[in-house]
Structure 1
Amino acid sequence: MTNPLSAPASITVIRGRGRVSALGLAAVPADNEASTFTQHTTGVPVAALPASAETAVAALRRSHPAYRQLDRTVLLALLAARQATTQAGWGNGGLVDWGVSETGNHQSTNPPIHQPTTSPLAVSIGSSRGATGRLEEFHAEFLAEGSVPAAASPLTTLGNVASWVAFDAGQDGGAALSHSSTCSSAFQALGNARAWLKAGMADRFLAGGTEAPLTDFTLAQMRAIGIYSPLAAANWPCRPGAGRPSTFVLGEGAAVFALEQLSAAQLATEPGPLLVLAGVGFGFEAIGSKTGLSPEGRHFQLAMHEALTQAGLAPTDIDAVVLHSPGTPAGDAAERAALRTVFGPELPLLLSNKWLIGHTLGASAALSLDFACHVLETQQWPTAPFATDLATAADKPIRRILVNAAGFGGNAASAVVELRG
C-alpha cells in the first residue's frame, strides 16, 4: 500500500484539459452504436475528425491571418490548448467565442477572443511527425517547380508546434519546448513539464501531444509495415486485445493539459477533488528492429516501475491501466506480458480508447491520459462491441490509473494519474 511518509512535498495538478479527436471535442462518445471510423480516399479505415470538430478547426484557421498557413497538426494543438486554458481559468477566451461547445456542437461563427494568460507559463508539446501535411505539400511543390517559399522551413520544424501554442496562449517569458519520440512523444512533453514544475523552473505549463497524420504518404508507410487493419470502417476496425489479425488504424487528434504545482500548504486549502499527475516514467530497450519490441516488453516494465516509484505507489495501488495496445498482436501481447511481470497474475482493469479514436501516434499518450481522467471523474467508460480483454465494469471505486505508451525505437513511457479529495 501507499506509504504516507513517501508522499511528495508538492504535487502536480491538472487544472484543465482539452482534446480533439474522432470523437470531436468530447472525451467519450454519447453512445457507441455507430463506428467512429470512416474510409479514407486511399481505401483504408481512419479515425478522422467529425464535422463538428472540422467546423472548429476551420473557424480557428480563419481567426488570425498567420493561422491560415499553419499545418493541421498545429491547429489541433491550438484547439486542445484553448480548451485546457479555459477550463483552468487562465484567461484565453471561451469555446463559445469561436464556434463550438464542449460537446462539439456548432454555436456561433464569431472569431476567437484572444486574451493573454493571467501570468507567465511554459509550453511543452509532443508530436511524432509534426507538420506532416504542410511538409508533404511543400515537397510536392518543390518536385513540380524546383523551389519552395521562404516560409517552408519555419512552418515544418517540430518547434513550430509548441511556439504557436505559446503564441496563441498569450505566453510572455516562458519556455516553448518540443518533443519527438514517436508514439510516446506526449509523455515526453508531460514528463518534462512535471520535472520543470517540481524544480521550480516554471509556475504553470501547457503540455500534451498532437498529430494530424492522415495523409496518403503516412498511411502508405503504416500499410508498408504490414500492421494495418483489414476490417471495414463501419465494423470497428481498431480492436485492442482482440488478437489476430492486426487491427492497427491511424487516427488524428490532440490533447493538452494545464498543469500547476501545489505545495503541501496550498494543497491543504484546495477544494477537492483534484486530478494529480503523480508520476511519469520512461523505459528503453536496445533492440535491432526499430519497429519491434521484446516479447516480454522490457521497455514497458521499466517505464511502469519508474512511474510507480515517482508516485510513491505499489502495483497493488493501481486500479486500472489505460493500455497502449494499438491492436497489433505482438505489441498487445508484449504489453500484457509486461503487466503480468509488474502486477502479477491478477491484473488491474484493462482499458483503452483506441478502439474509438484509432492510434494517433504522438498524440496517443495524451489522449489516453485524458481518457483516464474522464474515467476517474465519472467512474464510467464505453464498452467495446467486440470480443476483447478490455474491462466492461469496475467492482470498486477507481482512484488511480496507470497509462502506457510506446513507440518505434524501443522507447516506452508510463504515467500515473490519481483523483484526490
Structure 2
Amino acid sequence: MKPAEQEWIVIRGVGSVSGIGCTPEEIRQAYLQNKPAFTTLPHLDETTPVSPLSPSAEISLQALLQEESAYATVDRSVQLAILAARQAVAAAGWKSEELEATGINIGSSRGATSLFEQSHTDFLANPLKRLPPATSPSTTLGNVASWVAHDLQASGPVISHSVTCSTALQAIANGLAWLKSGMAKRFIVGGTEAPLTPFTIAQMKALGIYSKYAADNSPCRPLNPEKQNSFVLGEGAAFFALERMTKSEITALPAGSVITVEAVGLGFELSPSKTGITREGLHFQKAMREALRQASLSPSDIDAIVVHAPGTRAGDVAEINAMRSVFGESLPPLFSNKQLIGHTLGASGALSADFAFTLLQQAESLSPLYSSYQNSTITSYSRIIVNAAGFGGNSGCVVLNKLVR
C-alpha cells in the first residue's frame, strides 16, 4: 500500500476587524506604530475606557447593513463575524464550489449581547406585550455561525460555542480536529464579540478588575509593572480560513510564507472560584505542555509567545508563573495586542492569533513589549504560540508555524 502523503493544516486566509482597523495594511501599521485605540462612548460612563471598532471598520460595517435588510436585524457580534469571515475567504481565494462543503466554527463568549439586553429591557418595560417572533432565533448563540454560513453560502457543518475567553482558540482546536480526521477539507474558525453595552461593562466593574486609567493614558496594561488591575473591554472579530493540504498542493501556492496551525493544546484547572485562577496558572501550563507534546516540540523551539494577559493582577501573574514553569526563567519574546485594543472576550484568542500571524509574516520585526521578562535577541520568528484563558478554569494554546518550502 502506498504510504499516505504528509499533510498540513494551512492558514489560507485571515480576516479581522477591531479598534486598530479592518485591512491587513492598516492593522500592520497600527502594530508598527504601537498606536492604542481607546476612547469613551456616550452610552457608557464618561470615565470608562473602551476600544470600539476603528472608523474604517465602522464604515465597512455600515456598508454591510445596506446590502441586505436582514443584516440590520441581527446582533452586532453577527455583523462583525460576517465582515471578518468574508475577508478570510477572500484572502484564501476560495471559490463558491469550494465553500459548499466548508465547515464553520465560531466562538463567542456572550453572543448577541446588545440585542439580548435590548430585548430583555423591552420585555421588562412591558411584559404583556407580544415580543417580535425573531427575538429567540436572533439572540441564540447558534445564530452567529448560521448567519455567516448564510452570507458565504457555505453548506458544511455549522457550529457555534462559548467557552468564555478561550472560546476562539477552542474553535481553532475543533476545526483542526475535523480537518486532521479527514471529515472536512476546509474550515472557517475564529471568534467574535460586541460587548460594549452598559450591562456588560457593569458586570466587569463588579468584578473589581476594570481599569481606573483614562482612555488617553494607556488604560489597558497587560503584565504591567504597577500590578494594578487594568482590564478594558474592546469589540472585534477574527477568522481563519483553514485548509488541509499536501506538500504538492502547498508547492503549487503562490510564492510567500505559508503559515500552518501545528497544534492546539487545551487545559483545565480546578479554579478557586468561578472567576478565579490558581497562582501557578495550572491550566496555562497544561495547555502549553499539551500543545508542545502534540507538535513534538521542546520549549526552545518556540520563538515568541502572544500572551493572554488581560491586565488583571491575578491573571497576569498566573500566566507569567505558568510560562516560567514551562520555559524556565529566560522566556522567549512576549507580545500582546491588548494594550492597543483591550480584551475582546471570546474574540480575544482569535485576534491574538491574528497578531501572531502578522508577526510571522512581517518583513520588518516588531519589538517585544515585555523585555523585563525575557533575555532574548530574536528579531524574526518562525514558530509562535498563542495563549488564551477564560472564567471557569479553561485555557487554550495554539502553535503557529512558518513552513519552510
> Is TM-score (shorter-chain normalized) higher than 0.5?
yes
Alignment pair present for 1:13 and 2:10:
yes
Runs of at least 5 residues in structure 1 that lack an aligned partner in the other structure? 1-7, 92-114
Residue 125 of structure 1 contacts residue 207 of structure 1 at CA under 8 Å; is this kept in 2? yes
- The CA deviation at 1:120 is 2.1
**Of the candidates 357, 366, 377, which is equivalent to residue 350 of structure 2?**
366
Residue 100 of structure 2 contacts residue 153 of structure 2 at CA under 8 Å; is this kept in 1? no
Summarize deviations over 1:129-174 as a string: whole Å, max 9, x none. 00000000110111112142110110011110001111111112x1
**Of the candidates 133, 138, 153, which is equivalent to residue 155 of structure 1?**
138
Task: Please name the residue that 2:305 is paired with.
Answer: 321
Q: How many Å separate the matches in 1 of 2:218 and 2:28?
A: 15
Alignment pair present for 1:302 and 2:286:
yes
**Of the candidates 111, 125, 135, which is equivalent to residue 144 of structure 1?**
125
Matches within 5 A, 1:8-407: 9-25=6-22, 26-30=26-30, 32=33, 35-40=36-41, 41-43=44-46, 44-91=48-95, 119-146=100-127, 147-172=130-155, 174-243=156-225, 244-267=227-250, 269-270=252-253, 271-378=255-362, 379-381=364-366, 389=372, 394-407=377-390
Residue 333 of structure 2 contacts residue 368 of structure 2 at CA under 8 Å; is this kept in 1? no
Cα RMSD after superposing both structures? 2.0
Q: How many Å separate the matches in 2 of 1:71 and 1:118?
A: 24
Residue 84 of structure 2 contacts residue 237 of structure 2 at CA under 8 Å; is this kept in 1? yes
SS at match of 2:125: helix
Percent identity for Structure 1 against Structure 2: 51
Q: How many Å separate the matches in 1 of 2:118 and 2:375?
A: 43
- The CA deviation at 1:312 is 2.0
Runs of at least 5 residues in structure 2 that lack an aligned partner in the other structure? none
- The CA deviation at 1:9 is 3.0
Q: How many Å separate the matches in 1 of 2:340 and 2:52?
A: 11
Residue 321 of structure 1 contacts residue 404 of structure 1 at CA under 8 Å; is this kept in 2? yes
Q: TM-score, normalised by structure 2?
A: 0.91
Which residue identity lines up with residue 81 of structure 1 in the other structure?
A
Runs of 4+ in structure 1 deviating by more than 6 angstroms, as ranges, are 390-393
Summarize deviations over 1:82-119 as a string: whole Å, max 9, x none. 1100000014xxxxxxxxxxxxxxxxxxxxxxx67554
Residue 242 of structure 1 contacts residue 388 of structure 1 at CA under 8 Å; is this kept in 2? no
Residue 39 of structure 2 contacts residue 215 of structure 2 at CA under 8 Å; is this kept in 1? yes
SS at match of 1:413: strand
Residue 350 of structure 1 contacts residue 389 of structure 1 at CA under 8 Å; is this kept in 2? no
- The CA deviation at 1:33 is 7.1
Q: How many Å separate the matches in 1 of 2:272 and 2:280?
A: 15
- The CA deviation at 1:272 is 4.6
Q: How many Å separate the matches in 1 of 2:187 and 2:178?
A: 9
Q: TM-score, normalised by structure 1?
A: 0.88
- The CA deviation at 1:390 is 7.1
Q: How many Å separate the matches in 2 of 1:59 and 1:184?
A: 30
Residue 383 of structure 1 contacts residue 392 of structure 1 at CA under 8 Å; is this kept in 2? no
